[in-house]
Amino acid sequence: MKLALGTAQFGLAYGIASPQPQIGFAESKAIIDSASRQGMTVLDTAMGYGDSESRLGQIGVQTWKVISKLPEVPAGENVTTWITTAVKASLEKLKIESLYGLLLHRPAQLLSDKGPEIYAALQRLKADGLVQKIGVSIYQPGELDSIFSFAEVDLVQSPLSVLDRRLINSGWLDRLADRGVEVHARSVFLQGLLLMSADQRPAKFDRWASLWASYHEWIASTGLTPLQACIAYVSSLPQVQQVVVGVNGLNHINEILQAQTRQEPIWTPDLATEDEQLLNPLAWLQF
């Protein structure tokens, strides 16, 4: 199964277009149990997701492949000591012996004067068996040009959706596959915007009215729900190993798992946009 479970909402309220409250412990456990029964094996979390790691440890995730993300290394800290301490603390919270993946949440730090120390610390964690794969979480594929001029990574997590095809159009999706790098797609629903009807979508997104009209016309032509179509598009890409999906409750994860049964490619018109104002949720706060 290509679906990986995003757990940001296990540790904090999450979402920009339509903020959702933190999920309670009992429902978090029910989500994990249901996802595991239905074949999911990969969990995506981060040290910055509130108490998500601690909650996962309480639930018990020893049978899962857990990916976590390292925040920016603070100024004035010994890089190796800080990173090693942070990762060991995560493992203790998660109650597991190693991470399947450790991603830099701020990969630009690799290009700073701390970059060589950060990269060496990640390599040491991998050599010591505390981490199986090291990688980066990016916002746009242009970041990879600089990163791969400096370092080799095992895993890249990137936005990718029917509207956001920058990873494909830049050529980086194929280049990563050629390098044997594992690719995890996130933001496949664009923080829920792609699942909203025209009436539900906040008015500030009306500036892309023609794009939304084409998108909804495509959805209607597929005979699928928006959820099914968005998952089908990304999961059918052979270069993508995992599609990270966040959930807001038990019903949501079950709906997603039912929707992902369609794996074959589906016809898609050219709905791609390069507009950062739409594709980067952080930009939504500015308009």
> What type of residue sits at position 17?
A
Tell me how far apart the alpha carbons of residues 276 and 147 are, in angstroms, rounded to a whole number: 20
Centre a 10 Å sphere on the Cβ of residue 73 and count the other Cβ atoms it contains: 21
pLDDT at 28 over 70: yes
Which of 102, 172, 180 shows the shortest CA–CA distance to 140?
172
pLDDT at 17 over 60: no
Tell me how far apart the alpha carbons of residues 70 and 90 are, in angstroms, rounded to a whole number: 10
Which of 33, 25, 89, 85 shows the shortest CA–CA distance to 61?
33
Q: Provide the pairing of β-strand 131-137 with 42-44.
A: unpaired
Please state the φ and ψ torsions of residue 165, each to the nearest 5 degrees.
-110, 25
pLDDT digits (tens, 9 = 90+) for 123-180: 999 999 999 999 999 999 999 999 998 899 999 999 999 999 999 999 999 999 999 9
CATH number of 3-286: 3.20.20.100
Tell me how far apart the alpha carbons of residues 283 and 196 are, in angstroms, rounded to a whole number: 19
What pLDDT does residue 13 have? 73
pLDDT at 265 over 80: no
Answer with the residue of higher pLDDT: 87 or 17: 87
Rg (CA), the chain: 19
Question: With a threshold of 0.85, does the pTM exceed it?
Answer: yes
Write down the domain spans for the chain: 3-286
> What type of residue sits at position 201?
R
Answer with the residue of higher pLDDT: 179 or 20: 179
As a whole number, the mean pLDDT across the chain is 92
